[in-house]
Amino acid sequence: MPRLLPHVSSPGGVLAVAGAALLAYAALYASPYELRVLTVAGVYALAAIGFQIVFGLAGALSLAQGAFFGIGAYVTGILGSRYGLPFPVTFPLSLLLPFVLAVLVGLPVLRLESHYFALATLGIAQVVLLLAVNLPDLTGGANGLAGVPGIAAFGVEVPRGRPLAAAVWAAVAAGGLLAWWMARGRWGRALTLVRDDPLAAATLGLDVGRLRLAAFTVSALYGGAAGALAVHTQRVVSPEVLEFPVMVSVLTIAIVGGRGRVAGAILGAVLLLHLPEWFRFLEQSYLVVYGAALLLAIVVAPYGLTGVLERLLPPPAAVPVPPRAWAERERPAGTVLCVEGLSKAFGGVRAVDGVTLSLEAGRVTGLIGPNGSGKTTLINLVSGLERPDGGRVVLNGREVTGWRADRLARAGIARTFQTASLPAGTVLDAVTAARLDRDGSIAAAQAHAGHALERVGALHLGPRDGAALPAALRRRVELARALAREPAVLLLDEPAAGLTDDEKADLAARIAAVAAGGVAVLVVEHDMDFLLPLVDRVVCLDGGRVLAQGAPAAVAADPAVIAAYLGDAPS
Ligand code: ADP
Ligand code: MG
């Protein structure tokens, strides 16, 4: 079917047309009252854009966006009405106070599980509301403060009506562009991985806590700005700006509009602020409408209105990325990783119990043992996903015991997971994530990711959806992702599980090639036909302890190993 408006069939085209329509409505048609609704919609759009960054991109359910909004409102309200300070002074301060609060609260709570984070941020909102009501000398108490000046700078005040609407929407445009620019770059990609798979993000060198903190503080800046503009619009500030409906509105706007999308925040705000106007008969019960819209969106359109629009538009053509090899480094030799007396207990279970082993550059070490013998836990300890109770880990002569996963990843440790999983999105994007902390641009990261995919024979999978791949291919992509880190140590947790014999032979050749490049490789595997020819040494664990280690043939013939493990192995 020929498209009548080919230039509209891109997201940018749709945005431009929608923006122009909104502009024409505001400039030519809207009544003073309608302009006011539109202005308030702009204020909420700004708050929701910030919320998209912390909730939509970073996946942290912050319930503090309403509080940041309210604090921004009170800073402008108090300084403007009590002290007569002008917009150029009050506006930056309305951003600064929420920012400082976000840093103070975010630092301790952002490493918590997400539901604790949500509770902690809800606590902020409650405390701030209580303060506002109970400090009447400062805040005007329950009545609030009237007589807040309008937006004015250099002696010129922005009058109400069209000029004020234009000023607020100019702020939305500027904030929206900034957020869009941040979201599409390396930072936005890192945040999305933190949202989709925080463990993988950490093992790919991303500091999950710091990224979440940054997203939270940016959301606070947007919230504060929106609150300040709200008060300039209303000319009064009262505890209403801190109450829960503000937060509910922002959350609804983000979800109905489309999680993580700047356009979703704008679309959602314009729509939800107009819903009560269109459904006048509901009067004060607009929260019911919001609740219904929220439920409807979650059930029918989980990616919101922008998600629906994106599905109607043709998908962007995949641009082929020319793979680019990274500069070969000097091949190391000798021992790269030493583990000495490493221990970890979970409650009464000694999962890893005084394990000592070392990995050599250019060599493949096999790690075998019955289920539950501590193989995965050992990899978790060495890659920083678990903290050891005792023992030492030494990497290239440097003690790294107890380091966080992202720091170990940056020091040269890469791993795959026993259950290979990839975030939704293209395979190329998934592997590109492994380069975000080291390549200067997305283009360079993609080119290096292409090279890593090529090395495992998976370049053709680049445009496919990683989450939808069969398990065997997911494992292969996960291996590419680990290789893209150019690791000194590569830890593979059952990489051959579920592969056919041909695929296993192919994987063995690729692992051998990686080791030949100077990487110290550890492979966990149950299939001895696959493992024994591949490895230079074998370590056998049983009950968290090293049962035997040495040359493959010697370990395979060890009576203790046969009794504990190989005797009942299928091969
Ligand atoms: P393997 O990979 O060799 O099959 P694991 O390292 O997964 O073994 O597990 C070793 C032991 O530690 C098992 O008894 C397992 O139940 C226990 N374990 C592993 N991870 C945890 C955890 N996060 N919490 C509690 N117990 C655990
Ligand atoms: Mg395991």
In what helix (H) or strand (E) does residue 415 lie, and over which residues does it extend? strand 413-415
> Does 349 sit in the ligand 1 pocket, CB within 6 Å?
yes
Q: CA geometry: angle at 396 spanning 395 and 398, to 5°?
A: 65
Task: Judge if the beta carbon of residue 369 lies within 6 A of ligand 1.
Answer: yes
| Ligand 1 atom closest to the CA of 378, numbered from 1 | 6
Angstrom distance (rounded) from CA 62 to CA 41: 21
Question: Cα angle vertex 58, ends 52, 61, to 5°?
Answer: 70
CA-369 nearest atom, ligand 1:
3
Helix crossing, 208-234 with 65-81: angle to 10°?
40
351 Cα–ligand 1 center, Å? 6
Q: Is 13 in the pocket of ligand 1 (CB under 6 A)?
A: no
Residue whose token pair is 């950490």: 202
Which is the closest atom of ligand 1 to the Cα of 370? 3
Whether the CB of 376 sits within 6 Å of ligand 1: yes
Domains and CATH numbers, the chain: 58-242 (no CATH), 244-310 (no CATH), 361-384+404-566 (3.40.50.300)
**Sheet architecture: strand order including 398-399:** 349-360, 335-346, 390-395, 398-399
> Token digits for 146?
């009237």
- Cα distances from 438 to residues 283, 434, 445, in angstroms, run 54, 9, 8
Give me the residues paired with residue 407 across strands: none
Fill in the amino acid letter for 304: G
Task: Give the Cα separation of 262 and 179 in Å (integer).
Answer: 7
pLDDT tens per residue, the chain (571 residues)? 344 444 455 667 777 888 888 888 888 888 888 899 999 999 999 999 999 999 999 999 999 999 999 999 999 999 999 999 999 999 999 999 999 999 998 888 777 777 788 888 888 888 999 999 999 888 888 888 888 889 988 778 888 888 999 999 999 999 999 999 999 899 999 999 999 999 999 999 999 999 999 999 999 999 999 999 999 999 999 998 888 889 989 999 999 998 888 999 999 999 888 887 777 666 677 777 777 877 888 888 888 888 888 888 877 777 777 788 877 777 777 899 999 999 999 998 999 999 999 999 999 999 999 999 999 999 999 999 999 999 999 999 999 999 999 999 999 999 999 998 899 889 999 999 999 999 989 999 999 999 999 999 999 998 999 989 998 899 999 999 999 999 999 999 999 988 999 999 999 999 999 999 999 999 999 999 999 999 999 999 999 999 999 999 999 999 999 988 877 544 4
Kindly state if the Cβ of 374 falls inside 6 Å of ligand 1: yes
From 178, 171, 172, select the one nearest 87 (Cα to Cα). 171
In this structure, the residue with its CA closest to atom 12 of ligand 1 is: 351
**Ligand 1 site, residue 370, Cβ cutoff 6 A:** no
DSSP label at residue 310: H
Which residue has the CA at smallest separation from atom 14 of ligand 1?
Answer: 372
The span from the CA of 109 to the CA of 118, in Å, is: 9
Is residue 4 packed enough to be buried (19+ CB in 10 Å), middle (13-18) or exposed (0-12)?
A: exposed
Distance (angstroms) between ligand 1 centre and the Cα of 293 equals 44
For residue 283, the model assigns a pLDDT of 67
Residue 395, strand partner residues: 337, 398
- Predicted confidence at residue 3, as pLDDT, reads 42
3-state secondary structure of 395: strand
State the Cα angle at 349 between 348 and 353, rounded to 5°: 120
Cα pseudo-dihedral 467, 473, 476, 481, rounded to 10: -20
373 lines ligand 1 (CB under 6 A): yes
* Tokens coding 144: 């609030």
pLDDT of residue 569: 47
> What's the pLDDT at 571?
44
Test site for ligand 1: of 342, 346, 494, most ligand atoms within 8 A of the Cβ: 346
Gap from CA of 345 to ligand 1 centroid (Å): 9
| Identity of residue 6 | P
Taking the centre of ligand 1 as the mean of its atom positions, its distance from the CA of residue 97, in whole angstroms, is 45
What pLDDT score does 308 carry? Answer: 85
